[in-house]
C-alpha cells in the first residue's frame, strides 16, 4: 500500500513540474495574441486614393438626366363644327328640345336655311327665343359658332361653307376693333448755326390720350342672365325646373328664402348645374337672376 502511495506522489510531482511552465507559456502566448489583435484593430485604414474615388463616382452616376419640357399651347385653334355640336348644341338639337330644329330634319331646317348663313350665325352668337347666346357656353368663339351652324345646316341640305379661321367670320358679326390713335409725328430738329454755337430747337408735343381705360362694366341684369342662360330650362320647365311665372311651382322654393335659392343656383342642386352651366357668371349675376325669376312668381326679394 505504501509503495503505491509513493509512486502516486512521485508521478504527481513530475506532472506538476511540467504543467506549470506549460501554463506560463500558454498564458504568455495568449497575452501576445491579444496585444497583436488590438494593434491591428487600432491601426487606421489606409487612405483611399482620390483617383479611385473619382472612378467609383464615374461608374455609379446615372446614364442620363431626364428633363420634362413644358409644351407650348400655341395660338387658339377653333374647334370644328362637329366638335362644337357634339359638346354643346346636341343637348337640344339632338332631340328637338324646346322647339329647336332636330339635327338632320330637313323639314325643320328648310325655313331656317332660307334665312341665310349670316342670319343663322348671328342668331347662334346672340341667342334667339329659347336658345341662349352661344348655346349657353360663352367660351365658344364666333368662328366656332359659325362652324357649328354650317355643320348642322349642311346635315339638312344646306351648302354653307364654314370659315377656315376667325378672320373669315362675316364682318358684321365680328366685334368692333379698337381704332388706333392717330400717330404722333416725330418732332423735327431744326439747327440754327451761328459762327461759334449750334442751337437745337425741339417743338413742344401736346399730350395725347391713347386708348383711355373704359369705365368698369356693370354685370348683367337678372333678366339678361335669365334670357341668356336660365331660360333654356326655366322657360319650359325642363328637367323639373320651375317655370318662369308659375306661382305654384315657385311658392315652396320662395319659402326657403333668397339666400338658400342663391346658394342652390351658384353651387347647383339636383339636375341644375352650378351657375346654370355657365361658369363665367359672377355670383352677383346669378343672385340677380334668382331675384328676377322669384319675383316674377310673387316673391318680393
Q: How high is the pLDDT of residue 125?
A: 92
**How many whole angstroms separate alpha carbon 135 and alpha carbon 85?**
10
Query: Mean pLDDT across the chain, nearest whole number?
Result: 74
- For 2-13, what is the mean pLDDT? 55
Which of the 8 DSSP states describes residue 61? Answer: S
140 domain-assigned: yes
% the chain with pLDDT above 90: 21
C-alpha cell at 5: 502511495
Nearest to 123, CA basis, from 109, 134, 113, 111 = 134
Residue 289 has pLDDT above 70, yes or no: yes
Q: Is the pLDDT of residue 168 over 70?
A: no
Model pLDDT for residues 244-257, shown as the tens digit of each residue: 899 999 899 999 99
Assess if residue 94 is contained within a domain: yes
Residue 29 within a domain: no
Cα(180)–Cα(54) distance, rounded to whole angstroms?
66
- Domain CATH code at residue 152: 1.10.760.10
pLDDT at 194: 42
Give the model's pLDDT for residue 190: 45
Residue 162 reports pLDDT greater than 80: yes
Cβ(151)–Cβ(162) under 8 Å? yes
Nearest to 130 by CA among 59, 235, 11: 235
Q: How many domains does the chain have?
A: 2
In a domain, 135, yes or no: yes
- 261 vs 58: which has the higher pLDDT: 261
Our CA angle for 91, 221, 247, nearest 5°, is 70
Take residue 44 and report the three cell numbers written for it: 487606421
Select, from the ranges 31-40, 59-68, 283-292, the one with the highest average predicted confidence (pLDDT). Answer: 283-292
Q: Examine residue 239 and state whether it is found in any structural domain, yes or no.
A: yes
The answer to whether the CB of 199 falls within 8 A of the CB of 191 is: yes
187/229: higher pLDDT:
229
Q: Does residue 272 lie in a domain region?
A: yes
- The predicted model gives 108-119 an average pLDDT of 91
Q: What is the pTM of this model?
A: 0.41
Record the cell numbers describing residue 11, joined without a space: 508521478
Contact 124, 160 (CB under 8 A): no
Q: What is the predicted pLDDT for the residue at 226?
A: 84
For residues 121-135, give the mean pLDDT: 87
Structural domain containing residue 269: 222-296
Do 291 and 231 fall within a single domain?
yes
- How many angstroms separate the CA atoms of 250 and 297, rounded? 6
In which residue are the cell numbers 506549460 written? 22
pLDDT tens, 191-230? 444 444 444 444 444 443 334 444 444 678 989 888 888 8
Where a domain ends, among 170, 205, 236?
170
Residue 295 clears pLDDT 90, i.e. is over it: yes
**Residue 102 in domain:** yes
Give yes or no: residues 237 and 159 share one domain. Answer: no
pLDDT, one tens digit per residue, over 72-101 is 566 888 889 899 888 888 888 888 877 889
Q: Return the biggest CA–CA distance within the chain.
A: 158
- Residue at which a domain ends, from 170, 204, 231: 170
The answer to whether position 250 is within a domain reads yes
Amino acid at each position: 500500500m505504501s509503495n503505491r502511495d509513493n509512486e502516486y506522489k512521485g508521478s504527481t510531482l513530475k506532472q506538476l513540474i511540467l504543467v506549470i511552465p506549460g501554463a506560463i507559456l500558454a498564458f504568455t502566448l495568449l497575452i501576445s495574441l491579444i496585444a497583436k489583435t488590438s494593434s491591428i484593430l487600432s491601426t487606421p485604414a489606409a487612405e483611399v486614393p482620390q483617383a479611385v474615388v473619382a472612378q467609383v463616382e464615374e461608374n455609379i452616376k446615372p446614364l442620363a438626366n431626364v428633363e420634362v419640357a413644358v409644351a407650348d399651347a400655341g395660338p387658339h385653334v377653333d374647334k370644328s363644327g362637329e366638335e362644337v355640336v357634339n359638346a354643346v348644341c346636341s343637348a337640344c338639337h339632338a332631340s328637338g328640345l324646346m322647339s329647336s330644329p332636330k339635327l338632320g330634319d330637313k323639314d325643320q331646317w328648310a325655313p331656317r336655311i332660307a334665312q341665310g348663313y349670316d342670319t343663322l350665325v348671328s342668331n347662334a352668337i346672340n341667342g334667339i327665343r329659347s336658345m341662349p347666346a352661344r348655346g349657353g357656353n360663352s367660351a365658344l368663339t364666333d368662328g366656332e359658332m359659325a362652324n357649328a351652324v354650317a355643320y348642322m345646316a349642311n346635315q339638312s341640305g344646306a351648302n354653307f361653307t364654314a370659315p377656315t379661321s376667325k378672320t373669315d367670320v362675316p364682318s358684321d358679326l365680328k366685334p368692333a376693333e379698337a381704332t388706333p390713335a392717330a400717330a404722333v409725328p416725330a418732332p423735327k430738329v431744326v439747327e440754327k448755326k451761328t459762327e461759334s454755337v449750334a442751337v437745337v430747337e425741339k417743338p413742344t408735343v401736346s399730350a395725347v390720350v391713347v386708348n383711355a381705360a373704359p369705365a368698369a362694366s356693370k354685370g348683367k341684369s337678372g333678366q339678361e342672365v335669365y334670357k341668356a342662360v336660365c331660360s333654356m330650362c326655366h322657360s319650359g320647365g325642363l328637367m323639373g325646373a320651375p317655370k318662369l311665372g308659375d306661382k305654384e311651382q315657385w311658392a315652396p322654393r320662395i319659402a326657403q328664402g333668397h339666400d338658400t335659392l342663391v346658394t342652390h343656383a351658384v353651387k347647383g342642386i339636383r339636375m341644375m348645374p352650378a351657375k346654370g352651366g355657365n361658369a363665367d357668371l359672377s355670383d352677383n349675376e346669378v343672385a340677380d337672376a334668382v331675384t328676377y325669376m322669384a319675383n316674377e312668381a310673387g316673391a318680393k326679394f
